[in-house]
Structure 1
Amino acid sequence: MAPLPIRQIAYFVPDVRAAARAHSAAFGSGPYYVADHIALTHAVHRGVERELDHSSAYGQWGEVMIEFCQQNNPGPSAFHDIYPEGSGRTGLHHVALFVDNLGAAIADFAARGAPLALDARMTDGFRYVFVDMVEACGHMLELYEPTENLQGFYEQVRRKAGDFSEGVVHDIAFG
């Protein structure tokens, strides 16, 4: 596999807005764009279809996007695989990589002993996965193909970096 640069670092937290404000105050990152209750048409966790209601905040920190994730519903998930429900634990959850062919990347990681922890699709058809690299790296990998919409979102967050004229946190919706 060719080297894949990290596009995003993501943390699991109890409150994405509070985490975004705290990170911005400590490191000057942001502003952050918050998507509440991200709509999924399906979420398959470890081979089982499950509900996954989550919210995320996205902001820029230097050359990398930062994401804060919170799970809004109880139950098993790729988030709770690392940070068990009710434990109060938070921290690094995943790093995100762009891949040219998602199916081939999933197969390649599986062949190297990194199973699929989550296969999810949003209502607009966008697909992303979490590959379990916890044993090897201490975190999950999020993989997705660099669609025009996704690259546009990354560029929008990058362009707005450091512009706090409208505040630190802004609400957005994903379709």
Structure 2
Amino acid sequence: MSRFLGPIRQLGYVVPDIEEAMAHWSGVMGVGPFFYNPRVPIEDYTFEGQRYEPHNSVALANAGYIQVELIQCRNAVPSCYKEFTDAGNWGLQHTAYWTEDYDRDLARMEAEGFRVKMSGQVGAAGRFAYFDRETHPGTCIELSEVKGPKGRMFDLIRAASEGWDGSDPVRPFPDLSKI
């Protein structure tokens, strides 16, 4: 458990082929089902203070309490993910902590010397920040706001994993405006 933010809730893997990664995680590891979005709608995205329009594909599934996130960059905009792959890496890129009080926890991390390197928002109550202070070479910390529709979606993903029988291993992301 982090003394700053509580338990790690997500492990984020940057992969060269998300479809292959979903097949591996569900078929070999038994983790699933994955909820897949071929183009995550990221708003207010910045990297090092500059605005960009990323095109990332994301798949989410739970393995118990921990959520597994698979990420494939589909364009070359600057990001923590692109820095990771440009350095010759793929695999575990970040650990994420979830919060319902984003402003408080962001201020707490900044007070500890962490600086936001990449940030954005996915839907209402879905802000995120990646910090530049690395915990391990190639691995960084994400703070993710999880409440409202995003929180309900994460609850749905975890519930789907409980007792999952291996059927229908890849499913579309639910529409956040309808949950």
Could you state the TM-score of these two structures normalised by the residue count of structure 1? 0.85
Identity of aligned residues (%): 22
Letter of the structure 2 residue corresponding to residue 137 of structure 1: H
What is aligned with 2:69?
67
Letter of the structure 2 residue corresponding to residue 71 of structure 1: C
Q: CA deviation at 1:44?
A: 0.6
- The aligned runs of 1:19-168 (5 Å cut-off) are 19-84=21-86, 87=88, 89-124=89-124, 126-134=126-134, 136-138=135-137, 139-161=139-161, 162-164=163-165, 166-168=167-169
Distance, in Å, in 2 between the alignment partners of 1:132 and 1:143 is 12
Letter of the structure 2 residue corresponding to residue 52 of structure 1: P
Distance, in Å, in 2 between the alignment partners of 1:2 and 1:37 is 31
Letter of the structure 1 residue corresponding to residue 171 of structure 2: H
Q: Is the Cα contact below 8 Å between 2:8 and 2:95 reproduced in 1?
A: yes
Give the total of aligned pairs: 172
Letter of the structure 1 residue corresponding to residue 95 of structure 2: V
Q: Is the Cα contact below 8 Å between 2:124 and 2:148 reproduced in 1?
A: no
Q: CA 1:10–1:50 in structure 2 vs 1: closer, same or farther (change >3 Å)?
A: same
Matched, 1:16 2:18: yes
Distance, in Å, in 1 between the alignment partners of 2:46 and 2:109 is 17
Give ranges in structure 2 of 5+ residues lacking alignment: none
Q: CA deviation at 1:174?
A: 5.2
* Secondary structure of the corresponding residue to residue 86 of structure 2: coil
Distance, in Å, in 2 between the alignment partners of 1:77 and 1:122 is 16
Letter of the structure 2 residue corresponding to residue 163 of structure 1: W
Q: Is the Cα contact below 8 Å between 2:10 and 2:95 reproduced in 1?
A: yes
Distance, in Å, in 2 between the alignment partners of 1:114 and 1:4 is 16
Distance, in Å, in 2 between the alignment partners of 1:111 and 1:59 is 32
Q: CA 1:70–1:130 in structure 2 vs 1: closer, same or farther (change >3 Å)?
A: same
* Secondary structure of the corresponding residue to residue 4 of structure 1: coil
Distance, in Å, in 1 between the alignment partners of 2:175 and 2:56 is 12
Could you state the TM-score of these two structures normalised by the residue count of structure 2? 0.84
Q: CA deviation at 1:130?
A: 1.2
What is aligned with 1:172?
173
Q: CA deviation at 1:126?
A: 2.6
Distance, in Å, in 2 between the alignment partners of 1:156 and 1:173 is 9
Between stretches 75-84 and 27-36, larger displacement belongs to: 75-84
Q: Is the Cα contact below 8 Å between 1:17 and 1:34 reproduced in 2?
A: no
